[in-house]
Amino acid sequence: MSETMREPIIIVGGGPVGATLALLLAQKGIATTVLEARKKAAAYTESRALALSFGSRKILEKLGVWTALAPHVTAINTIHVSQKGSLGRSILRAQDFNLAALGYVVSYGALSAALDEVLANTTIVNFVFEASAEAITYHPTHATVTYRQHQFSQSLNSALVVLADGGRGLDEIAGMVKETKDYGHDALISKVSAELPHNHIAYERFTAHGPMALLPNGARDFSLVWTGKKAYVNNLLNLSDEAFLALFHAEFGDRVGRFLTVAKRMTFPLKLSQLKTTDTPHLVVIGNAAQTMHPVAGQGFNVGLRDAESLANCIASSAPERLGDEKMLADYRVSRQTDTKNGLLFTDFLVNIFSNDIVGVSGLRSIGLGVFDMVKPIKAHLVSKMSFGK
């Protein structure tokens, strides 16, 4: 069975970035249809941690989402950056930059539930669950999405289709090309509990094998991201819990005492990618579907929310007959060019400089961290970039 209908703006992907875009547009009186492949509430149990910047909090506050989300977040008030085997270190404190926090940690499930709570009361957003996109095509006057729901196939036409599927491969269905850099590294993610309270401090620790990040998540727990070469990370995955915690403590140090427990460990390959093909009339791509960053600086998801905010502003300022045309899409790309480029370059720089164990480089990194800690304007610039993309 096939049916073709004319729709308002169509958002493919109802995860946090797509849902945020739908709410931003609803505030401006613009209707959307959101196609989400998963069942309703399926994401609520997902414990994967997201790092929210202070700027992302402001976006969620504007949408009325933060009130429901606040009980489930853990604030990051301090970021402690160090390198194993050296005295160099740098500390960033929210109070030094007149911020309530440098960031927040929340589970994917809690954020999804808070967004859905607001969406449920937003009548001009038509949220369609269990709708799996199979094809996206674009034409001079519109784009078409073909999706399957409960064994039935449907096609929707719109002057603007937004792909916000989180990078699950629909960019290939849409005929787009990405430039991808494979780091040859994997990331191990898990959750660990510590002997001492975290005091709302996040840790970035650089080792000879690659960087690790500990994000406060709960009363004494941390979300862990530990990256390194595939063979090294595979070995970490296969260790017993006791052996893993012992090795982790040896690499991280005693700042929070002993590590007591580790949850299920999972890994995924690391890459840096960005869309190369942009000549797609009436189709725009945002979030991880548009660019994928190394998690070392925790920027990827926040860049996606800023994509959504910028796109909503471009849509609202365009005349209805110009929706999805070349000028509107060009205006959007210009609005995001600097933030996205700087985010990609910054994370790539950190990976290259802190994953390199060439003789002599370690000493220079140590000196660099010490100098960075003393130069307040540079620290202020970094915090502004991390918080607001500026």
Which value, to the nearest 10 degrees, does the dihedral of the CA atoms of residues 218, 224, 44, 52 take?
80
Please check the confidence at residue 1 and state whether its pLDDT lies above 90. Answer: no
Identify the band that residue 369 occupies on the pLDDT scale cut at 50, 70 and 90.
very low
Indicate if the pLDDT at residue 381 is higher than 70.
no
Give residue-wise pLDDT tens across range 228-248: 899 999 999 999 999 999 999
What pLDDT, on the 0 to 100 scale, is given for residue 173? 61
pLDDT score of 3? 46
In this predicted structure, what is the pLDDT of residue 207? Answer: 83
What percentage of the chain has pLDDT greater than the value 90?
A: 51
Q: How confident is the model at residue 90, as a pLDDT?
A: 82
> Whole-angstrom Cα distance, residue 43 to residue 62?
23
The whole-number pLDDT of residue 5 equals 47
Q: Do the domains 71-106+183-270+359-388 and 4-44+107-179+273-350 match in fold?
A: no
Length of the chain: 390
| Cβ contact 205:211 at 8 Å | yes
pTM: 0.86
Residue 176 pLDDT class (50, 70, 90 cuts): confident
Asked whether residue 163 carries a pLDDT value surpassing 70, the answer given is yes
Domain boundaries, the chain: 4-44+107-179+273-350, 71-106+183-270+359-388
Q: Which residues contact 119 (CB under 8 A, 6 or more apart)?
A: 19, 22, 23, 125, 127
d(CA 223, CA 250): 18
| Residue 105, beta-bridge partner list | 51, 74
CB atoms within 10 A of CB 251: 14
Backbone φ, ψ for residue 237 (5° rounding): -65, -30
pLDDT confidence of 76, banded at 50, 70, 90? Answer: very high
Residue 119: per-residue pLDDT = 94
- As a whole number of angstroms, the distance between CA 59 and CA 27 comes to 12
Determine the Cα–Cα distance for residues 139 and 190; give it in Å rounded to an integer.
44
Q: What is the pLDDT of residue 363?
A: 45
Which residues have a Cβ under 8 Å from the Cβ of 23 and sit 6 or more positions away?
63, 65, 115, 118, 119, 122, 125
CATH code, residues 71-106+183-270+359-388: 3.30.9.10
C-alpha 235: how far from chain center: 27
Beta bridge partners of 215: 223
pLDDT, one tens digit per residue, over 290-339 is: 777 655 555 778 889 999 999 999 999 998 889 999 899 999 988 888 77
Q: Cα separation of 62 and 28, whole Å?
A: 12
Average pLDDT on 30-45 reads: 93
Looking at the DSSP bridge assignments, the partners of residue 82 are 89, 205
Q: Does 6 have pLDDT greater than 60? A: no
Q: Summarize the confidence of residues 147-164 as an average pLDDT.
A: 92
48-55 average pLDDT score:
90
State the DSSP H helix or E strand holding residue 27, giving kind and residue range, or none if neither.
helix 16-27
- For residue 375, what pLDDT is reported? 47
Question: In this predicted structure, what is the pLDDT of residue 361?
Answer: 43
User: Is residue 362 pLDDT above 80, yes or no?
Assistant: no
**pLDDT (tens digit, 9 = 90+) per residue, 245-278?**
999 999 999 999 999 999 999 998 877 777 776 6
What confidence score (pLDDT) does residue 377 get? Answer: 59
73: region left, alpha or beta (phi > 0 left; psi from -120 to 50 alpha):
beta
pLDDT band at 15 (very low <50, low <70, confident <90, very high): very high
* CATH entry 3.40.50.300 includes domain 4-44+107-179+273-350: no
pLDDT of 349 > 70? The answer is no
**For residues 370 and 49, which has the higher predicted lDDT (pLDDT)?**
49
Q: Which residues contact 142 (CB under 8 A, 6 or more apart)?
A: 157, 158, 159, 282, 324
Helix and strand tally (H, E) in the chain?
11, 21
pLDDT averaged over every residue in the chain: 83
Strands 32-35 and 125-128 come out as parallel
Give the list of residues 6+ apart from residue 16 with CB closer than 8 angstroms, or none: 50, 108, 111, 112, 115, 301, 304, 305
Mean pLDDT of 349-374: 48
Question: Given a cut of 60, is residue 289 above it in pLDDT?
Answer: yes
Q: How many Cα atoms sit within 13 Å of 379 on the Cβ side?
A: 23
What is the predicted pLDDT for the residue at 290?
74
**pLDDT higher for 357 or 81?**
81
What is the tens place of the pLDDT at every residue in 83-142? 776 666 788 899 988 889 999 999 999 999 999 999 999 999 999 999 999 888 888 899
